[in-house]
Amino acid sequence: MDYTPYYIHYYHSLKAIQQEYRTRPKLIQDLTQKINEKLNDKIIEVQQELLKKYMIEERTLHSWIDHYISDPSIKSQLDLIDINNDRLFGEVLQEPNFNLEFPSTLTKEVYMKILKKVFATIRHRVYKQIRDIVRPRPDKYITKNELKDILHNLDFQNIRARVYTMYGLPEPTPRQPSHRILQKAHYTYMIDKEFMQEIRETKQAHERFMTQILASDVFPGLDTKNPLDSSEEEVVPARFGSNWYEFKNKNEEDNENDYEEEEGKDQEIDNERVFASKIIDKDNIQLTELDTHIDQQKRLLFQETKMRVAPEQQSEEQFNQ
């Protein structure tokens, strides 16, 4: 499961490369080779993280694999890696698929409702506690330590579990906890760029909203309407949404990363390998963003324990209304 996001990332990279440089087969070949190397490096990195997480030595894992290799379930998992390597680096580029299993009722639409509901519940609980502290004080302030305590004591596991069952999904079990099922769905749907864009916009809107909540801004009704009382889809005020820049008189920033060559440089580059290296270097930025996204999603939806959050963008001891 932990390999899936990186296979999907490099599937999109390879697809873009094949479309952009279809008249330059040697460049495509060089780029494909470099991407193969980068994916292998990333897989090794993921493996080391998992070994550390479960406190297993690498030689122990390999001895287990050798011992249980005749087990159909173990063999099928190992075969999946070979199958997906062939999907990316075989004769014909194909979408990777690790056959992650989760309830069919957990569609993209339901996943987005869950994410928005979790965000809305976080905002409601944080805002309510801030207002309870600020209201009685003549100077309408909250200290940095009080804010840290509010965020630290949020029970994300409880929020996630309650939202999960709200949308008709089966009760989680020890073998299939809600955080694991949500993670499988998220990784499966990452192949859809529109889905990922909606997630980014939803997270950004939530972050902008939370910034104002943490600054003790007033939002009438936010503390009285509990999002967990209804399964209706949550929305944020327009000034925090995807068109927030219209309220700030700023132009929308284009965050699309692609593999376009610099204008006028195409014919000047003779060394395909050098050019391939330059393009791959650009991928480091995208990969860092992917790692950040995965880490944020894990902390919010995919972990069993509470998430500890320290307030950011707040440097003063008091936050005046």
Q: Which of 99, 128, 152 is the last residue of a domain?
A: 99
Same domain (yes/no): 130, 249: yes
Q: Which of 72, 99, 126 is the last residue of a domain?
A: 99
Same domain (yes/no): 18, 117: no
Decide if 275 is inside a domain: no
| pLDDT tens, position by position, 10-30 | 999 999 999 988 888 888 898
CB environment 74-104: b (16+ within 10 A), e (fewer): eeeeeeeeebbbebbeeeeeeebebeeebee
Handedness of CA 229, 234, 237, 240 (dihedral sign): positive
Question: Tell me, what's the pLDDT at 36?
Answer: 93
Give the CA distances from residue 214 to residues 38, 145, 159, in Å, rounded to whole numbers and listed in that order. Answer: 40, 12, 20
User: What is the spatial distance between Cα 130 and Cα 134, in angstroms, rounded to a whole number?
Assistant: 6
Same domain (yes/no): 66, 179: no
Decide if 119 is inside a domain: yes
Q: Would you tell me how many other CB atoms lie within 10 Å of the CB of residue 28?
A: 18
User: What is the spatial distance between Cα 14 and Cα 93, in angstroms, rounded to a whole number?
Assistant: 8
Domain of 90 in residue numbering reads as 1-99
Question: Tell me, what's the pLDDT at 15?
Answer: 92
> Which residues 6+ apart lie within 8 Å of 76 measured at CB?
none
Q: Which of 253, 274, 291 is the last residue of a domain?
A: 253
Task: Read off the pTM.
Answer: 0.74
Decide if 288 is inside a domain: no
The whole-angstrom distance between residue 104's C-alpha and the CA centroid of its chain comes to: 21
Decide if 75 is inside a domain: yes
Number of domains in the chain: 2
Same domain (yes/no): 238, 143: yes
Decide if 315 is inside a domain: no
Decide if 82 is inside a domain: yes
Same domain (yes/no): 50, 184: no
Same domain (yes/no): 113, 91: no
Residue numbers of the chain with a pLDDT score lower than 50: 245-247, 249-270, 304-321
- In a 10 Å sphere around its CB, with 0-12 CB exposed, 13-18 middle and 19+ buried, how is residue 150 labelled? buried
Same domain (yes/no): 76, 131: no
The whole-angstrom distance between residue 58's C-alpha and the CA centroid of its chain comes to: 28
Question: Tell me, what's the pLDDT at 152?
Answer: 87
